[in-house]
Amino acid sequence: MKQFNVSLRHWPPMKAARSPALPRLCFLSYRQIREFAMPVVAEYAQRADIEVVDGTFGGALAIARDRIDRGVVDAFVSAGSNASILRAGLEAPVATIQLGGFDLLQALIEARRIASRVGIVMYGATIPELDAVKDLLNIEIVQYAYQTPDDARQRFELLRRQGFEVIVGSSLVVELAQEAGLHGLLAYSLASVRKGFEDAMELARVARLEAGRYEQLNGVLHNLQEAVLAVNEDHRIIAANPPMRQLMRPVAGSLLGQRLDAVEPELSLQATLDSGTEERAAVQRFGQRDWIVNRTPIREHGQVVGAALTLYDARRIQEADTSLRMQQRLRQSTARYRFEHLIGASESFRRAVATAQRFAHTDLTVLIAGESGVGKELFAQAIHNESARTSRPFVAVNCASFPEALLESELFGYEEGAFTGSRRGGRRGLFEAAHTGTLFLDEIGDMPLALQTRLLRVLQEREITRLGSNAPIPVNVRVIAATHQPLQDMIAERRFRQDLYYRINTLRLTLPPLRERREDIAPLAQSLVAQCLQRLQAGIDAREALAPLLPRLVAHDWPGNVRELENIAERIAVFLMQFDTPQQIRYDDLRHDCPELFEGLPAAALDSQPLEERVREAMRLAGGNRQEAARYLGVSRSTLWRWLRTIEPNED
Ligand SMILES: Nc1ncnc2c1ncn2[C@@H]1O[C@H](COP(=O)(O)OP(=O)(O)OP(=O)(O)O)[C@@H](O)[C@H]1O
């Protein structure tokens, strides 16, 4: 079967090729063969839409092109010279009605009935084997081949002048014979015509499959934002999507089929065609813009048959990168913690949790006050997660970590052209990012006064205005603010706006420092050290290994609160990981890693401290409360009770 490629003329793909019910065939022929083939056309009328058109040579080609352009045909069927011309001039599928040897034999037998001298004029080439037939049939045969209609006429004239009365050949020749009053016999059989139609049906089926696939690809190509172009092995453009066409300089006529280096030499794919190697992510300036360019060879069965060029707008990539970073930053600040993750059993901590839980069920602004590292952000996350906004964004911003101008654009966003270097299309700020969710403004005391004014307005009016814009954008955001600074003192010093203070101080949560809730130190330390040991994949038992250190941990003042405890827990875990069992631990060596733990308490080596002393110290630190003392020591109440019975047998 003939292999074919979808013609350049199919771009864009055949309009009517979507899914007409029957395959569409165009039978392009001379009148003679048409009349002869009509019974076969009638046979196929049920299975195909057949257009029968008379045409010769250039005329046939023009007709075929018209049908392709109008998208009304899937395959052509033709014979002789017409078929050759169509095949050479189109890349559309063409089935040929082949002249079979038996067809010719039949025609010659019939010719012999009329005359003993038979002339043959055939398209293409003569058939030397006919010499044998000539003797068999006992007739004189003279045969000629022709390439063009003029050729055919000349050959026919030669035969006529030689007195041949019967001419066998193609329909063109039969027509000439009949015009000259001779006998013209068509050298085709109905079986050959049928075979031609059957081939055409198969070609049409394949063409449709191909057109369908092509249409899908074309749809994808047309919807790509990237500019894409493809060339064939002759460096001629075979595809260019709309963004690419916009970039390229206009050409007279169709862009397709033009040589790429003649249209846009800068985009040349010649080197890719020559080398067959791919070039990825090259930066190229074209049309006064920077592009990220890929040049890729297209291969078929290992052979380079073309190349594709893709241009990505460098600015878009930069923007995507920025927005990716922004997304990542936002993702990092999504609320992970819930109340159940917070560790602490002290009275003041439990009270703080209960208050925060109550606040969570309102939609009011919350101000969380507390020293650095007490867990303000953790509480803000837990409040968000307990609130109705839990599935919405939680966006955290530390007001102290931005210079004033940057904080403003971070919070409120900006319009395109708001300032030099502002991004095309502008950028949304954190208020917009937190829309329908919660915005956590950490270190609000560090917010510059001018911004405090803007923030107050946003909280009152529930809308923001991007920098460089006048259009207000409504936002629905719950604000949770946090401060480690005494805001009231700052108001007196005119460093914080009183009206903003009243606005954010609707619900106030004060988190006590760790030194005021020492009962929380042991459970926090145990949990934090255990987590670190797990991360370090150390096998030692955290609870048992930490127990001798607890009095020191509890006694420490923790100016950095839980954050400082986290830090020391990490150092302790790294120290502990070198031991397999708690019995091997030389606690005194920890002095180098955690000197702060060894400052206040007597320098006696912890591991040499007798159990009795450790228990007494814990009881002293816990003010006689056994439960707390047990927690300091990292043992259960019953263990402590057992120890106490051995130390102070009379007391129980
Ligand atoms: N109750 C707690 N349970 C477990 N981890 C805690 C607890 N409180 C604080 N942390 C941990 O301590 C660290 C400091 O907490 P967080 O960042 O919430 O403090 P902060 O008060 O917001 O600090 P800053 O004011 O310095 O921003 C965090 O890593 C947090 O996970």
CA of 292 to the centre of ligand 1 (A): 44
pLDDT digits (tens, 9 = 90+) for 492-550: 999 999 999 999 998 999 999 999 999 999 999 999 999 999 999 988 999 999 998 99
What is the Cβ-side half-sphere exposure of residue 618, based on CA atoms within 13 angstroms?
31
- Mode of pairing for the β-strands spanning 463-465 and 94-97: unpaired
Distance, CA of 374 to chain centre? 42
* Whole-number CA gyration radius for the chain: 46
Local structure of 140: helix, strand or coil: strand
489, 557: one domain: no
- pLDDT tens-digit series, residues 198-246: 999 999 988 888 877 777 777 777 777 889 999 999 999 998 998 999 9
For residues 86 and 157, what is the distance between their CA atoms, to the nearest angstrom?
Answer: 27
The CATH number that applies at residue 113 is 3.40.50.10660
Same domain, 469 and 381: yes
The verdict on the CB of residue 562 being under 6 Å from ligand 1 is yes
Provide the CATH number for the domain around residue 42: 3.40.50.2300
pLDDT tens digit sequence for 595-632? 888 765 444 445 455 677 778 877 887 788 888 777 76
Asked if residue 384 and residue 264 are part of one domain, the reply reads no
Ligand 1 centroid, distance to 374 Cα (angstroms): 5
Pairing status of strand 237-240 against strand 227-232: antiparallel
Atom of ligand 1 nearest to the CA of 343: 3
pLDDT at residue 297, rounded to an integer: 93
Of 374, 401, 444, 570, the residue with max ligand 1 atoms within 8 A of its CB, to mutate for a pocket test, comes to 374
Question: Does any domain span residue 268?
Answer: yes
Judged against a pLDDT cut of 70, whether residue 12 lies above it is answered with: no
Looking at the DSSP bridge assignments, the partners of residue 412 are: none
Q: What is the mean pLDDT of residues 481-500?
A: 94
CB 287 within 8 A of CB 247: yes
With 50 as the cut, is the pLDDT of residue 7 above it? no
Query: What is the percentage of the chain residues whose pLDDT exceeds 70?
Result: 89
Residue 1 lies in a domain: no
Same domain, 202 and 67: yes
pLDDT of residue 344 exceeding 90, the answer is yes
Integer Cα distance of 379 and 483 in angstroms: 13
ipTM: 0.96
Closest CA to 299 of 271, 278, 270: 278
Q: Are residues 377 and 488 in the same domain?
A: yes
Ligand 1 pocket: which of 563, 565, 570 to mutate (most atoms within 8 A of CB): 563
Q: Are residues 379 and 445 in the same domain?
A: yes
Question: Residue 616 CB: number of other CB atoms within 10 A?
Answer: 15
Q: What is the pLDDT of residue 33?
A: 84
**Of 512, 528, 553, which closes a domain?**
512
Query: What angle in degrees, to the nearest 10, is found between the helix axes of 626-633 and 521-535?
Result: 20
Instruction: Give the residue, 545 or 426, on which the prediction is more confident.
Output: 545
> Is the pLDDT score of 155 beyond 90?
yes
Residues 82 and 201 in one domain: yes
Residue range(s) defining the domain that contains residue 38: 8-98+192-207
- pLDDT surpassing 60 at residue 421: no
24 C-beta closer than 6 A to ligand 1: no
Cβ density class 585-597: b for 16+ within 10 Å, e for less: bebeebeeebebb
Residue 611 lies in a domain: yes
Distance in Å, CA 566 to ligand 1 centroid: 9
Task: Looking at the structure, tell me whether residues 395 and 508 fall in a common domain.
Answer: yes
Q: Tell me, what CATH number does 298's domain have?
A: 3.30.450.20
CA of 85 to the centre of ligand 1 (A): 83
Which atom of ligand 1 is nearest the CA belonging to 379?
18
> Which of 407, 445, 436, 438 lies closest to 337 in space, CA to CA?
438
As a whole number of angstroms, the distance between CA 91 and CA 5 comes to: 6
Q: Whole-model pTM?
A: 0.50
Q: Which of 179, 207, 235 marks a domain boundary?
A: 207
* pLDDT tens-digit readout, 356-406: 999 999 999 999 999 989 999 999 999 999 999 998 999 999 888 777 778
Q: What is the mean pLDDT of the chain?
A: 85
Check if 373 has its Cβ closer than 6 Å to any atom of ligand 1.
Answer: yes
pLDDT for res 326: 59
Residue 89 in this model has a pLDDT that exceeds 80: yes
Q: Is 571 in the pocket of ligand 1 (CB under 6 A)?
A: no
Name the domain boundary from 512, 541, 556: 512
Residue 606: closest CA among 636, 586, 633: 586
Please check whether residues 368 and 493 belong to one and the same domain: yes
**Distance of CA 201 from the midpoint of ligand 1 (Å):** 76
Q: What would the two tokens of residue 69 be?
A: 């352009």
- Tell me which H or E stretch contains 191: helix 190-223
Give the count of domains, the chain: 5
> Rounded mean pLDDT of 24-52?
89
Q: Is residue 212 part of a domain?
A: no
Chain segment 580-599, per-residue pLDDT in tens? 888 888 888 888 888 888 76
Q: Are residues 119 and 228 in the same domain?
A: no
376 CB under 6 A from ligand 1?
A: yes
Q: Do 467 and 550 lie in a common domain?
A: no
In a shared domain, residues 376 and 471:
yes
Is 199 near ligand 1, meaning CB less than 6 Å away?
no
